[in-house]
Structures are given as structure tokens and as C-alpha cells.
Amino acid sequence: EQNNGTALHFGINSPLYTSPNNTVTLALTGSWGTDKYMQTYYGVSASQSAASRFIRYDAGSGIYAWSMNLDWTHKFNEDWSVIAAA
């Protein structure tokens, strides 16, 4: 079994506006990776460097992504709704 490390995702979600048929929500999400995760996906090992034109890069643990979403949900009835996201 191969272990590529561990990633942790954390976020906060806040409704900005709510009515019977509409909801507007703002969300902020961050992603953090262990040393092994970061090296697997973002680093360049010595053997990879020797086989390519890329220099060796040791990626340490840390946050590797932030995102912010603004979502609007409009409910037509109990069975149908539409979501717009940015």
C-alpha cells in the first residue's frame, strides 16, 4: 500500500441572505498538507531531478490552497431549485 501523505481541508460557511425561495452563502476553504503529501504532489525528488530538467525541490508541510465561493440558490418548489456559484 502506498501512502502519499495526509491532507486536511477546513472551511467556514456563512449565509449572507435567506428568504423562503433564495439563499446566498459565502464560504472560505483552506487546504493543508503534511511533508509527505506536499513532496508527493509539489516536490521534485533527487531521482526525478536527475531524469528531467527540473531542479530538486523539497516541499515542506503547509497550506497549499485557499478558495472562496459565493453561492446563490433559488428554490422553484419542493422538487426543483437552481444554484449559481462563483
Q: Is the pLDDT of residue 2 over 90?
A: no
pLDDT tops 70 at residue 9: yes
The model's pTM is 0.71
CB environment 36-57: b (16+ within 10 A), e (fewer): ebbbbeebeeeeeeeeeeeeee
pLDDT band, residue 1 (cuts 50/70/90): low
Mean pLDDT score, 1-24: 94
What is the per-residue pLDDT across 19-70, written as a single tens digit (0 to 9) for each?
A: 999 999 999 999 999 999 999 999 999 999 999 999 999 999 999 999 999 9
CB-based burial, 19-34: b 16+ in 10 Å, e otherwise: eeeebbbeeeeeebbb
Burial tier of 64 (Cβ tally within 10 Å: 0-12, 13-18, 19+): middle
